[in-house]
């Protein structure tokens, strides 16, 4: 064989091996298979990935998180942190497999996919593929309804197990729930979604209001209802079946979204806990009519949700972010307010804050320092507060990576600030 043919043959072999490493079967992975597959996938993108655990289940299985960042293992100042959580109900399995495929997608395409590359460079992404592996291992393929495998190994529904201001829990917080709560304290998460099954809809807070379990059909409007409707719509509009609002028998969800309590009310849910007790905004994604459908449907679900999963992550780069300082010293736990929106966020130990907001003009404040800011679609406004030099005439600049102001926009902004 000539050297030229030999070289071509080696290239072909290398290409075949490369393609094989990119392939991920559409099947249900057992817990051990999933863990091994995660390790195998991320071994090919060590420079942007990290695998870590946040706790153990009742039966001793690790709750495994895959992190993606251009500096894995490190928080970068003013870089937002995002999370996906799958398989909270062990018998609602589509989310688990979609997140495994999302890990593979990020790892294998970030060098050639500009959208993925920008996300990895400007976001710290955390993916908990399964929150309830014990339940998953008890569930059965083909069971579209029922509760086999739904709870954890102690028999508790994890999506009824979080602290709730309107409901006095009489049963103990479970290890999986406790792990999530500690996780939320350890990382400055900004945006999140948890993946379920049994319907096809994007469900946003609140799931209940004032009266605990409440009455289904009552719209429990959160202070950030406009933004929640926006991000839920972003997910739904990229998924044709979800967008139809009638994908499953009996469903009627205009635009493919719903307020949680308006659909049915529950207490102790994870999305409300995120919003009420932390800085993190979370929605619940119901992704399949059948909770545990045949594995032959997995490719279809991936095709339906791939773009939605990516587009939703991009929404973490919305609204306003900045630093709060006093005499150039960063302030931890400073309270950041938006006038007329009854939801505050607190600064991190590094004095950072992120405030997700839809496009518009807002008055924001920290202590007695008040500033105005304009949020534009697809951009993040940068608004810092130096409390020792407080002024009511705030100067707004764009955050790193945002499109620059045009001269006309600058003049309009200056004019508005002088009003």
The catalytic residue positions are: 286
**Neighbouring C-alpha atoms within 13 Å toward the C-beta of 255:** 11
Please report, in angstroms and rounded to a whole number, the separation of the first and last CA atoms in the chain: 80
Tokens of 224: 């950030």
- Pairing relationship of beta strands 124-128 and 62-68 according to DSSP bridges: antiparallel
How large is the C-alpha radius of gyration of the chain?
23
Q: In 3D, which of 185, 196, 133, 191 has the Cα closest to residue 159? A: 196
**235 Cβ partners below 8 Å, 6+ apart?**
193, 202, 242, 283, 285, 308, 311, 312
Residue 45's Cβ-side half-sphere holds a number of Cα atoms within 13 Å equal to: 27
What residues contact 218, with CB distance under 8 A and at least 6 apart? Answer: 209, 261, 262, 265
What is the SS3 string spanning 118-153? HHHHHCEEEEECCCCHHHHHHCCCCCCCCCCCCCCC
Q: 285, 191 in Cβ contact below 8 A?
A: no
């Amino acid at each position: 064989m000539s050297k030229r043919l030999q070289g071509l043959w080696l290239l072909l072999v290398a290409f075949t091996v490369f393609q094989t490493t990119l392939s991920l079967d559409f099947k249900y992975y057992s817990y051990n298979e999933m863990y091994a597959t995660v390790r195998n996938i991320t071994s090919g993108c060590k420079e942007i990935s990290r695998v870590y655990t946040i706790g153990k289940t009742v039966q001793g299985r690790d709750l495994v998180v895959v992190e993606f960042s251009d500096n894995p293992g490190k928080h970068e100042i003013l870089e937002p942190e995002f999370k996906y959580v799958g398989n909270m109900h062990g018998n609602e399995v589509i989310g688990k497999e979609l997140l495994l495929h999302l890990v593979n997608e990020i790892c294998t395409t970030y060098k050639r996919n500009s959208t993925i590359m920008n996300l990895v460079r400007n976001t710290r992404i955390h993916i908990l593929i399964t929150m309830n592996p014990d339940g998953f291992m008890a569930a059965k393929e083909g069971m579209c309804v029922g509760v086999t495998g739904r709870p954890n190994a102690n028999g508790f529904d994890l999506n009824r197990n979080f602290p709730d201001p309107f409901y006095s829990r009489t049963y103990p917080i479970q290890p999986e729930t406790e792990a999530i709560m500690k996780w939320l304290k350890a990382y400055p998460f900004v945006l999140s979604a948890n993946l379920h099954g049994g319907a096809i809809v994007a469900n946003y807070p609140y799931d209940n209001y004032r009266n605990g379990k409440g009455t289904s059909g009552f719209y429990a409007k959160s202070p950030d209802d406009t933004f929640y409707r926006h991000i839920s719509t972003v997910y739904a509009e990229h998924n044709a079946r979800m967008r139809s609002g009638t994908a499953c028998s009996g469903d009627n969800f205009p635009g493919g979204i719903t307020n949680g309590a308006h659909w049915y009310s529950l207490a102790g849910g994870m999305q409300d806990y995120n919003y009420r007790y932390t800085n993190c905004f979370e929605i619940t994604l119901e992704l399949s009519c059948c909770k545990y459908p045949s594995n032959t449907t997995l490719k279809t679900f991936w095709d339906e949700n791939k773009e939605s999963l990516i587009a939703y992550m991009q929404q973490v780069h919305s609204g306003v972010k900045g630093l709060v300082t006093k005499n150039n010293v960063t302030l931890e736990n400073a309270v950041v307010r938006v006038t007329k929106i009854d939801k505050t966020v607190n600064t991190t130990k590094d004095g950072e804050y992120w405030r997700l907001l839809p496009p518009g003009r807002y008055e924001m404040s920290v202590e007695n320092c008040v500033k105005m800011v304009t949020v534009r679609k697809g951009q993040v406004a940068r608004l810092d507060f130096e409390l020792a030099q407080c002024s009511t005439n705030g100067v707004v600049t764009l955050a790193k990576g945002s499109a620059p102001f045009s001269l006309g926009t600058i003049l309009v902004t200056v004019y508005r600030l002088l009003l």
